[in-house]
Structure 1
Amino acid sequence: MTSRPTKTMTFEKAEEIATDVLLHLVREPELVGRFLAVSGIGPESIRSAATEPGFLAGVLEFMMGDEPLLLAYCENSGLRPTMIAAARFALVGEDHFDV
């Protein structure tokens, strides 16, 4: 039996995906409003919050919590939904992954 080589999501690629998701949210006033309400971050502090550890993982968690939003984003970006989960995992590591 031949095994397929596995690709590991790098931290840098995960940051790139999460940043793109954040930009997607910011372009849509309703989406960014929902994200800010859920995260408790004010619009004036989103830039500084983005530098905090875990912020980008939170962006991905928000996206994964809304299946229609996740699927629409993935269709438009050409990513599989599992790539969003893999990026979140890469950002927080194994010790923080909730199943």
Structure 2
Amino acid sequence: MGGQSGKGSEQAETLAIRALGFVAADPVLLPRFLAITGIEASDIRQAAAEPGFLAGVLDFILAHEPTLEAFCAETGIEPAAVGRAKQHLPGGDGRYERST
């Protein structure tokens, strides 16, 4: 049980929660995130418990290089670590469909 993937999943979830906090605290990013996801600000906590939501947060960060750079600068996390973390989350295995 547990093992390496369990630890990777926990670390990925922690990183994604930090990313969600980063987005939620930004007055420009939050409305864009809400518009893209279609959720209301009041529903973020509930949505965060849904499978795939945290991978979607990381997708949002990864989809816009300036946002990724700002998140990484603020947190000290390497950009490649954000992509790796997404792969450890439900829905983050590359089968996620991006909208262009």
TM-score, reference length from structure 2: 0.82
Offset of residue 60 of structure 1? 0.2
Aligned to 2:38: 40
Aligned to 2:47: 49
Aligned to 1:97: 94
Q: Please identify runs of 4+ aligned residues in structure 1 that moved more than 6 A.
A: none
Q: In structure 2, what residue type is equivalent to 1:97? A: G
Q: Among residues 13, 16, 40, which one is paired with 1:15 in the alignment? A: 13
Identical amino acids, percent of aligned pairs: 40
Offset of residue 92 of structure 1? 3.1
Which of these two proteins has the greater Rg computed from alpha carbons? 1
Alignment of 1:72-83 (within 5 A): 72-83=70-81
Distance 1:98 1:67, change over 3 A: farther
Unpaired runs of at least 5, structure 2: none
CA distance in 2, matches of 1:12, 1:45: 23
Unpaired runs of at least 5, structure 1: 1-6
